[in-house]
């Protein structure tokens, strides 16, 4: 019998040479007359270990991390295909690796275990159990389960998913839509990508259930064009789902239908904002719409539309299968369930960590990050993407839940955590936030469109030492104008990283320099 060898086909693994590695391992096995079967699985989310090669044994999978082409020969010499653990790259049993063992994986339970486009694999690992349950429920029962789970949208705004679905369910219409927001534009985030590349059937299942819940028979996944691998895998999975009657007409003999299609974005960050996304899907410029009307009432092509983030929809099969209470058991306060935190930037052990809400940032970093990549002290941490504040050390003990973060004028957003060491130039970071807004503003409102251009100019003056005090005041005014005069969070939150950079880092540094100068 052939030995099963797992080599991920995920972006991170590929970016570190997984395709070449798979070819070489196959070739080496052929030359040695060893019968192996290579399975291109998803990633476990321990991206710093990619390519992570695993071998199936009767005790479980044995893992070998950061495998290079040069190591292939010695791996075979030391009979890694038997699960021999002597090789220097061997990490022991995958499930025992602390980074994995310490997580609470609900949404990412299958990530890296299955072949993402193998339907049988999916079904053997609890796939489509949520759908099976949903097919026995009324629409209202499904919506009630989602409401009771306490699930809040994972795309950033944390709006209760059940309320959104109820609104769409209660809206009579000849046509309704389910739209999945897979624009994942935030730097430092890759959880949506991991869902789509490691477990795409889960997203498909979540969307079919959403369709059953609100009475929609057409879905779109709006995927950013920066994710070519996810695009390929999603399309393969959708094709299989159609071929096996999990999509299309009369799904599993239920009389219910659901059609699904991937639509590619075109490199505009603002198209992650839900109304801009809908405009884009309709074939227009991605200009943000004024609300009301809510997309739930007048969404895609003017019809009632559920628009949810990938992670929100991916959480649905678990909730239907295991029950709302099982999901709500995780988390704290009004932040129920788990959030996949995404550790990124200057860290040794960057990757995805799914945990219940409530641990502190510091705890998370201590338990998982493994220090900085450069070996220098951590200095500034940007949580929640490019519109999120930079947090100084004093704030790292904040519990990771929505309310605690908004209390310090920060956001948890989509759960990305980007770490900088002490060589970071915070003025440069503040400038970048404004520059990003210049590049990505949809242009509809003046404070965002013009304010950001002025912001870059003013910060440049401060950097050049031109009237720094006056210009810092001017920048503060500009930030307030943007916060209060912008239609959406692009203009309204770009000031958060800027203000926090000044308040917690730049002013401290200036004060410290002045004190030092005075002594």
Query: Hunting for tokens 């999603």 — which residue is that?
Result: 234
Residue 442 makes contact with ligand SF4 by CB under 6 A: yes
Query: CA–CA distance from 494 to each of 287, 380, 398, 441, 503 (Å)?
Result: 17, 17, 21, 10, 15
Q: From residue 284 to residue 323, what is the string marking binding to ligand SF4 with x (rule CB under 6 A)?
A: ----x-----------------------------------
Query: Hunting for tokens 């490691």 — which residue is that?
Result: 198
- Least Å distance, CB 288 to ligand FMN, is 8
Question: Among candidates 23, 51, 48, 49, which has minimal Cα distance to 38?
Answer: 23
Q: What's the CA gap between 128 and 37, in Å, rounded?
A: 27
Q: Say whether 11 sits in a helix, a strand or coil.
A: helix
Q: From residue 279 to residue 318, what is the string marking binding to ligand FMN with x (rule CB under 6 A)?
A: ----------------------------xxx--x------
Residue 190 makes contact with other proteins by CB under 8 A: yes
Q: Select from 20-28, 31-39, 181-189, 442-450 the region that touches ligand SF4 (CB under 6 A).
A: 442-450
Neighbour count for residue 117 (Cβ, 10 Å):
22
What token pair was written down for 301?
A: 């092509």
Q: What's the CA gap between 126 and 110, in Å, rounded?
A: 9
Stated as kind and residue range, the H or E segment containing 61 is strand 60-64
Residue 280 makes contact with other proteins by CB under 8 A: yes
Are 217 and 259 in contact by the 8 Å Cβ rule? The answer is yes
Applying CB under 6 A, which of residues 150, 304, 491, 497 lies at the interface with ligand SF4?
Answer: 491
Q: From residue 425 to residue 454, what is the string marking binding to other proteins with x (rule CB under 8 A)?
A: ---xx--x---x--xx--------------
Q: Say whether 476 sits in a helix, a strand or coil.
A: helix
Q: Which of residues 471-490 bind ligand SF4 (CB under 6 A)?
A: 486-488, 490
Residue 46 carries which DSSP code? -
Query: CA–CA distance from 204 to each of 119, 166, 200, 255, 462 (Å)?
Result: 12, 20, 6, 18, 50
**Residue 284 interface partner, choices ligand FMN, other proteins, ligand SF4, none, CB cut-off 5-8 Å depending on type:** other proteins
- Least Å distance, CB 486 to ligand SF4, is 4
Q: What number of chain residues touch other proteins (CB under 8 A)?
A: 60
Q: Select from 55-63, 180-188, 293-301, 436-444 the region that touches ligand SF4 (CB under 6 A).
A: 436-444
Residue 180 makes contact with other proteins by CB under 8 A: no
**Residue 159 interface partner, choices ligand FMN, other proteins, ligand SF4, none, CB cut-off 5-8 Å depending on type:** ligand FMN
What's phi and psi for 259, nearest 5 deg?
-110, 145
Stated as kind and residue range, the H or E segment containing 382 is strand 378-383
Q: Select from 229-237, 355-363, 366-374, 487-495 the region that touches ligand FMN (CB under 6 A).
A: 487-495
Residue 118 makes contact with other proteins by CB under 8 A: no
**Residue 477 interface partner, choices ligand SF4, ligand FMN, other proteins, none, CB cut-off 5-8 Å depending on type:** none
Give the binding site for ligand SF4 (CB under 6 A): 270, 288, 441-445, 448-449, 486-488, 490-491
């Amino acid at each position: 019998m052939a030995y099963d060898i797992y080599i991920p086909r995920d972006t991170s693994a590929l970016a570190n040479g997984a395709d070449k590695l798979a070819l070489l391992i196959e070739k080496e096995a052929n030359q040695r007359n060893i019968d192996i079967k290579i399975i291109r699985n998803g990633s476990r989310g321990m991206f710093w270990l990619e390519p992570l090669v695993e071998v199936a044994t009767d005790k479980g999978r044995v893992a070998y991390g950061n495998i290079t082409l040069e190591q292939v020969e010695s791996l075979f010499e030391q009979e890694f295909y038997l699960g021999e653990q002597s090789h220097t790259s061997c990490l022991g049993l995958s499930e025992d690796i602390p980074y994995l063992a310490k997580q609470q994986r609900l949404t990412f339970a299958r990530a890296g275990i299955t072949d993402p486009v193998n339907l049988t694999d999916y079904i053997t690992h609890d796939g489509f159990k949520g759908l099976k349950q949903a097919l026995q429920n009324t629409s209202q029962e499904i919506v009630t389960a989602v409401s009771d789970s306490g699930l809040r949208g994972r795309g950033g705004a944390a709006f209760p998913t059940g309320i959104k679905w109820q609104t769409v369910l209660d809206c009579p219409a000849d046509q309704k839509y389910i739209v999945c927001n897979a624009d994942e534009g935030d730097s430092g985030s890759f959880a949506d990508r991991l869902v789509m590349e490691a477990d795409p059937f889960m997203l498909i299942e979540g969307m079919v259930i959403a369709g059953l819940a609100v009475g929609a028979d057409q879905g779109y996944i709006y995927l950013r064009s920066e994710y070519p691998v996810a695009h390929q895998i999603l399309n393969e999975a959708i094709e299989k789902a159609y071929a096996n009657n999990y999509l299309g007409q009369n799904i599993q003999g239920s009389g219910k239908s659901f059609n699904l299609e991937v639509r590619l974005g075109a490199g505009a960050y603002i198209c992650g904002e839900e109304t801009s996304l809908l405009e884009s899907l309709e074939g227009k410029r991605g200009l943000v719409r004024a609300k009301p009307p809510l997309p739930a009432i007048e969404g895609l092509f003017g019809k009632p539309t559920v628009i949810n983030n990938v992670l929100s929809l991916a959480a649905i099969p678990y909730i239907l299968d295991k029950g709302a209470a099982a999901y709500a058991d995780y988390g704290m306060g009004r932040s129920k369930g788990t959030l996949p935190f995404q550790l990124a930037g200057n860290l040794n052990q960057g990757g995805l960590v799914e945990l219940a809400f409530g641990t502190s940032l510091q705890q998370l970093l201590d338990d998982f990050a493994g220090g900085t990549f450069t070996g220098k002290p951590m200095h500034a941490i940007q949580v929640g993407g490019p519109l999120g504040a930079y947090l100084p050390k004093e704030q790292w003990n904040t519990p990771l839940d929505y309310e605690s973060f908004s209390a310090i004028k920060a956001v948890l957003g989509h759960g990305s955590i980007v770490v900088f060491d002490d060589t970071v130039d915070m003025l440069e970071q503040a400038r970048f936030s404004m520059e990003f807004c210049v590049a990505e503003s949809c242009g509809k409102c003046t404070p965002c469109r013009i304010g950001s251009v002025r912001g870059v100019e003013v910060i440049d003056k401060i950097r050049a030492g031109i009237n720094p005090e006056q210009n810092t005041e001017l920048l503060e005014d500009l930030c307030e104008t943007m916060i209060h005069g912008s239609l959406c969070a692009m203009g309204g939150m770009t000031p958060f990283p800027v203000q926090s950079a000044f308040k917690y880092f730049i002013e401290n540094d200036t004060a410290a320099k002045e004190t030092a100068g005075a002594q």
